[in-house]
Amino acid sequence: MKPDFAIIGAQKAATSFLRTSLGQHPGVWMHPREQTFFEDPHFDANGFDAFCQQFDGHGPGITGFKRPDLLALPECPGRLARLLPDLRMIAVLRDPVRRAVAAYYFHMQKGRLPLLPVSRWLTQRAVRYPQLEPAECAVLEYGLYASQLERYREHFDARQMLVLLHEDLAGGPEEAMARTTGFLGLGGEFVPRPPRRRVNPTVYSLARLRLRVPMRRLAGGRAWQRPLGKLLNLADLLLRPFAARRAPQLTVAARQVLEEFYRDDVARLARLLERDLSAWSSA
C-alpha cells in the first residue's frame, strides 16, 4: 500500500513534534522511522514495492511517514511525483537563521562538523560558501525554502502541500493541528496530548557535545554499554542540568552572514505564501 502523506521538512523545524502529534490520531498510522528511500545514494526504483510494503496492514485509516530532508534535496520532488503522484505533503518552515543555528549544532552532535562556536564557524567558514564540506553546505542550503517549494510546484499541484510555520506550532498548536487534520481529510476534533518532554531537542552546549560526540563514535552508537562509554554518559547526565538549553546569541557579524544569505529567498517566500515574514529577520 502506498503511503497517503509525508512530512517533508524542514529539518529542525518541529517535524518530530508534528509526527508525534499526528501519530496519536486514531485514523493515522505514522511510520516510526524516517524514510531515506527517495534520496541519493539510497534510491532504487526497483525497491519501491518493498518501500510500500512497510505501510501494508495499517489501515483502515491513512498512513504517512516523515523525512525532513525531502524538502531540501533537489533529487526528491521528481521521484516522489513519479512514484507517489497523489501524495499529500506537509512542510513546516522555521526562521532560517534560527534553523541554521539549530542545524549546525545537530550536525556537530552527529560528528559531521568540528566542535566550534557557531559564530566563529559563520564568520570563518560559512563565508566561503559554496567551497565547504557537504554538511556545512546543508546547514545553509536547507533554509532556502522558496527555492525548495518552487521545485515541488514544478512537479505537484500546490494544493497537495500544506505549509505551516514553526511559530504556528510553537505558540498554540491547536489551530495548526486543525488545519493539518483538515488537509489530510480527517474529520472531527482532534487535540493531541502535549509531549511529556521536548521531542528531538537540539543540544546547544559545547561542553555536552564534547562528551557526546566521542561517545557516539565509540562502539558504533552503543558506547554506553562499554566502560568508557558509561563514564562519558554519566558525565553527560550530570552536566545536563547546568548546560545551555537555548541557542547561543550570535555576534552581529555572524547574524549578518546568515541574514544576507537568506534575504532574497525569504522575500520570495513571503510572496509565494502570501504571509508576512518580517518577524524572521528581526528575531
Q: What is the DSSP letter of 248?
A: P
Which SS3 state, helix, strand or coil, does residue 107 take? helix
Contact 6, 67 (CB under 8 A): yes
Do 124 and 234 sit in the same domain of this protein?
no
Same-domain pairing of 224 and 166: no
Q: What is the CATH number of the domain that holds 50?
A: 3.40.50.300
212 and 186 part of one domain: no
Q: pTM value? A: 0.89
Could you read off the pLDDT tens digit of each residue along the chain, which spans 283 residues? Answer: 999 999 999 999 999 999 999 999 999 999 999 999 999 999 999 999 999 999 999 978 999 999 999 999 999 999 999 999 999 999 999 999 999 999 999 999 888 998 999 999 999 999 999 999 999 999 999 999 999 999 999 999 999 999 999 999 887 788 899 999 999 999 878 878 877 767 678 888 888 888 777 766 664 555 445 565 565 555 555 556 555 568 899 999 999 999 999 999 999 999 999 999 999 966 5
Residues 179 and 267 both lie in one domain: yes
Residues 252 and 121 grouped into a single domain:
yes
The domain of 220 spans 206-242
177 and 148 in a common domain:
yes
Residues 59 and 136: beta-carbon distance below 8 Å: no
Shared domain check, 79 and 33: yes
Give the separation between CA 21 and CA 194, rounded to whole angstroms. Answer: 8
Q: Are residues 177 and 276 in the same domain?
A: yes
Number of folded domains in the chain?
A: 2
What is the rounded distance in angstroms from the CA atom of residue 272 to the CA atom of residue 76? 21
